[in-house]
Structures are given as structure tokens and as C-alpha cells.
Amino acid sequence: MGGVPGLYPAMTRRSASLHGWLLLFPAAVLLVAFTHWPTAATIYHSFFTTPKGARPARFIGVDQYQTMIEDPIFWQALWNNFFYALGTIPASIVLAILMALWVNQRLAGRGFLRLAYFTPTVLPMIAVANIWLFFYTPDYGLIDQITRKFGFGATNWLGERETVLGALMVMTVWKEAGFFMIFYLAALQQIPPNLAEAAALEGASRWYFFRRVIFPLLMPTTLFVLINAVINSFRLVDHVVAITKGGPDNASSLLLFYIYEVAFKFWDTGYGAALTVVLLALLASLALGQYFFLEKRVHYR
């Protein structure tokens, strides 16, 4: 009794349990109903066929997974998602650090800079997609208007297999970098000023100071941002739904978009469940990786 510091010590365990669970109850019901139950049900349903009309779901073992392994669109969506993460996350992080370093200095027009970097973050992805759609329009959009000045012809940025995923990546970096910037900005403001004084005394260059002092101190922030960025790269497919529909030829299909397509366009919920299991496995391994590997390395260097 009272063993854990900060908890109410004078209560019996029974009374504390009653109070605790009563307080937790409403939130717990909703959490179980919309997070834990669907997670378990997804796994369960992935071993069944999709019920159709009067025909109920039938157990088929790993058939859905067999189908998946032989499904080129699944692999394409998975690879696309991988390249999408690889293309957006490091770029967003580097830009976010640069932005934070700049905004943290007393450069001219600092308020304007912060506003410019952060504003895209407040927009819904769907609005971002609509604005950039206009940007990317062949011939008529701003990008083609500029490239034309340099003698290039019209490019259908969102209509070509080679450019579509890159076009989505640019849009995502534009939206996300400013969001990550504020976490770096907060971290920079926590760094004790005497470190800079010591470095100046030693005659260290700015680059050296950044590389050996600032960047290592930003590591926990980088980890936090990294985890969030990876989750976002799997979670946020609004722009795909809104402007490319995964096309052309599935070149811009991401995993969650493919799940959406399978479950809500083709109404194959059994296969949709199997695809969701892959996404859940990816997220779970991310959580475990964070817990067992990164946490320790970041804090106890």
C-alpha cells in the first residue's frame, strides 16, 4: 500500500481499484472498441473470405496472404511507400533543422520566416493537394511556366509513372518540414548558452560546434520526429486519394491507399484485412524498435 510515489497512499488497494477503474471505464470502452478489438478482428478476419450477400465468411487459412504474395499491386504499393518514406523523411528533417537554426538566430525578419515555414502545416492535406495540383498542371501550371523559360516542354508531373511519386513527395515535405521545425526550435532553446561560450573560447568553427555539440543534443528530438514521420508516411494518404487515385498505373499507390481501394472500392474486406495486418505489423515493429533499440542509444550514448 502506498508503495508507488505520487499515488494516494492512504487508500486500500480495493478502494483504489474501484475508483481507478471507474474513472478509466468510459475511455477504456472506446479504446477497446476502436483500437484493440479492431486490431484483433483484423488479424482474425484475414483468415476468412469476404462475406458476400447470403454467403457468410468461410475459413481459408492463409489463402489471403498467398494472394497477397502473388499480388504485384501490393508489392508496388509497399515499395512505393518505402521510397515515399525514404524520399520525404530525411529531406523534411534536414530542412526542419535548417529552419529551426535560422529562426533561432536573430536574422532580419525572423517573424516572417517562422510564419512562412510553419503556415503549410496548418492547412489540411486535401487543401495542399488542391493547391499543388494547380502547380503541377501540364503547360498551364507554375512549374511548367518556369521550366518553359529554360526551354523545356510541358510535363505531366502527376500523369507520368516516373514523376508522380516525386511530385507527391515534394508536396509532403512542403507540408511537414515546418511542423518538425517547431520541435527542433523548442530543443534548441533548451540548450544551455554556456556551451556556445565554451566553444567560442576554444575557437571552434560554427560547423564543428553544430556537428559535435548541437546535433548530438538534438538526438532525442530527431528520434521523436523520425517516429512521427514514419507513422505519418503510412497514415496520411489524403493527397493520393484526392489527386492521383494511386495512378498512373499504381505508380503512386501507398499501402493505406491500396487498403482503402480494396476494402471500399472493390469491397473485398477479407483481403483488406490481410493487407491491414501488414500495415499493423510494420507499425508494431516500429514501436518495438523504438522501445528496445533507439531509446537506449539516444539517451545513454
Partner 1 sequence: MSGHARGMDLMEARGFDRVLETGAAWLLALMWFLPLIYALWTAFHPPEFAARFAPFAPLSLENFIKAWNAAPFARYFANTIALCAMILAVQLVLVTLAAYAFARFDFVGREFAFALVLVQLMIMPDVLIVENYQTLSKLGLIDTLLGIGLPYMASAFGIFLLRQTFKTVPRELDEAARVEGCGFMMLLWKVYVPLAKPVYIAFGLVSVSYHWNNFLWPLIVTNSVETRPLTVGLQVFALVDQGIDWALICAATLMTSGPLLVAFVLFQRQFVQSFIRAGIR
**Residues in 93-122 at the binding interface with partner 1, rule: CB under 8 A:** 95, 98-99, 102-109, 112-120, 122
Q: Which stretch binds partner 1 (CB under 8 A): 24-32, 79-87, 147-155, 158-166?
A: 24-32
Binding characters for partner 1, 228-267, by CB under 8 A (x = yes): ---x--xxxxx--xx-------------x--xx--xx---
Query: Least distance in Å: CB of 117 to partner 1?
Result: 6
Residues 52-91 that bind partner 1 (CB under 8 A): none
| Cα–Cα distances in angstroms (integers) from residue 33 to residues 30, 42, 88, 183, in the given order | 5, 13, 33, 32
| Cα–Cα distances in angstroms (integers) from residue 243 to residues 42, 60, 68, 104, 177, in the given order | 28, 36, 26, 36, 21
Query: Least distance in Å: CB of 188 to partner 1?
Result: 8
**Nearer Cβ to partner 1, position 75 or 208?**
208
* Gap between the Cα atoms of 284 and 76, Å rounded: 21
Site size toward partner 1 (CB under 8 A) is 109
* Gap between the Cα atoms of 147 and 79, Å rounded: 30
Query: Least distance in Å: CB of 235 to partner 1?
Result: 5
Among 6, 53, 61, 203, binds partner 1 (CB under 8 A): 6
Amino acid found at 110: R
Binding characters for partner 1, 119-148, by CB under 8 A (x = yes): xx-xxxxxx--xxx-xx-x--xxx--x---
Binding characters for partner 1, 186-225, by CB under 8 A (x = yes): x----x-xx-xx-xx-----x--x--------------x-
**42 touching partner 1, by CB under 8 A:** yes
Query: Least distance in Å: CB of 75 to partner 1?
Result: 19
Query: Least distance in Å: CB of 121 to partner 1?
Result: 8
Binding characters for partner 1, 144-183, by CB under 8 A (x = yes): -x----------------------------x---xx--xx
Query: Least distance in Å: CB of 59 to partner 1?
Result: 18
